[in-house]
């Protein structure tokens, strides 16, 4: 569909998702999807799930990437901010895609009886706790980057309650929060099944971690080889080229 057919509001732009010809409406002054969303979508594709929830969806990048590469997936997006829901609705319409958008606080999940028995929940949650550090003045940016009234532990517990038996929760987080997330998974009766750290370059401390916890399925966990983003020359590694090529 040509750009002129898209409904863009002031401050918005149309970006290429580089996946099956899909595009996404974004506001660069608020939040644009990045490498973490691409990595989470690629990590989660292994599940081959049919019924999927994109929790704390933002502009929907993770769920959209999964829809591009998992034909027939039944996607639900749950997002708190009305502006993001509106942009996502127009993104879906512009791409001729069908999905459910639920505007709600994640803390309201127990009240939504229809939001149950998901085979896969993906979540790129706000990265940082509200611990007194400097926050953006813009309320939308604060919600996107900082926990607001709901901790990571609470987010994981709520997601776990919405999974079917052997369903999976896939997360991307700052590496320093990996232990916190794994402990929270245990409290929520989720078994950590896959862990993969992300390093900017070989030998560097990890910057991100990709985690998968399942509802049931035993205690064995797979620690995958580190995902290296850049080579010594600052170019994407062959794996990253492949990931972006497949996304």
Neighbouring residues of 199: CB distance < 8 A, sequence distance ≥ 6: 205, 206, 207, 226, 227, 228, 229
Q: pLDDT for 145-196, tens place per residue?
A: 555 667 899 899 999 999 999 999 999 999 999 999 999 999 999 999 999 9
Question: Is pTM beyond 0.95 here?
Answer: no
Span 200-226, average pLDDT: 93
Confidence of residue 5 (pLDDT cuts 50, 70, 90): confident
Query: To which H or E segment does residue 119 belong?
Result: strand 118-123
The pLDDT assigned to 62 comes to 97
Q: Is the CB of residue 104 less than 8 Å from the CB of residue 112?
A: yes
And the tokens for 89?
A: 């609705």
Q: pLDDT for 219-232, tens place per residue?
A: 789 999 999 999 99
- Domains in the chain, CATH or no CATH each: 3-246 (3.40.50.150)
**Average pLDDT, rounded, for the chain:** 88
Beta bridge partners of 223: 195
Confidence of residue 245 (pLDDT cuts 50, 70, 90): confident
Of the listed ranges 62-66, 112-116, 229-233, 236-240, the least confidently predicted one is 112-116
Q: Is the CB of residue 213 less than 8 Å from the CB of residue 191?
A: yes
| Cα atoms in the 13 Å half-sphere on the side-chain side of 23 | 18
Tell me the three state secondary structure of residue 205.
Answer: coil
């Amino acid at each position: 569909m040509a750009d002129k057919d898209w409904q863009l509001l002031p401050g918005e732009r149309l970006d290429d998702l580089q996946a099956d010809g899909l595009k996404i409406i974004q506001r660069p002054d608020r939040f644009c999807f990045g490498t973490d969303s691409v990595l989470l979508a690629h990590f989660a594709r292994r599940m081959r799930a049919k019924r999927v929830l994109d929790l704390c969806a933002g502009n929907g990048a993770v769920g959209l990437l999964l829809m591009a590469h998992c034909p027939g997936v039944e996607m639900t997006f749950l997002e708190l901010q009305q502006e993001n829901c509106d942009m996502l609705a127009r993104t879906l319409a512009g791409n001729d895609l069908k999905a459910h958008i639920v505007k709600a606080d994640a803390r309201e999940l127990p009240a939504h009886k229809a939001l149950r028995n998901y085979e896969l929940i993906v979540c790129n949650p706000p990265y940082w706790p509200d611990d007194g550090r400097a926050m953006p003045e813009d309320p939308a940016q604060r919600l996107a980057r900082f926990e607001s009234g709901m901790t990571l532990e609470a987010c994981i517990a709520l997601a776990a309650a919405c999974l079917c038996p052997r369903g999976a929760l896939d997360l991307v987080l700052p590496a320093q929060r990996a232990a916190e997330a794994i402990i929270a998974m245990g409290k929520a009766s989720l078994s950590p099944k896959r862990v993969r750290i992300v390093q900017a370059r070989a030998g560097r401390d990890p910057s991100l971690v990709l985690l998968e916890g399942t509802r049931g399925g035993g205690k064995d966990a797979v620690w995958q080889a580190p995902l290296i983003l850049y080579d010594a020359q600052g170019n994407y590694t062959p794996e990253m080229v492949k990931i972006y090529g497949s996304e």
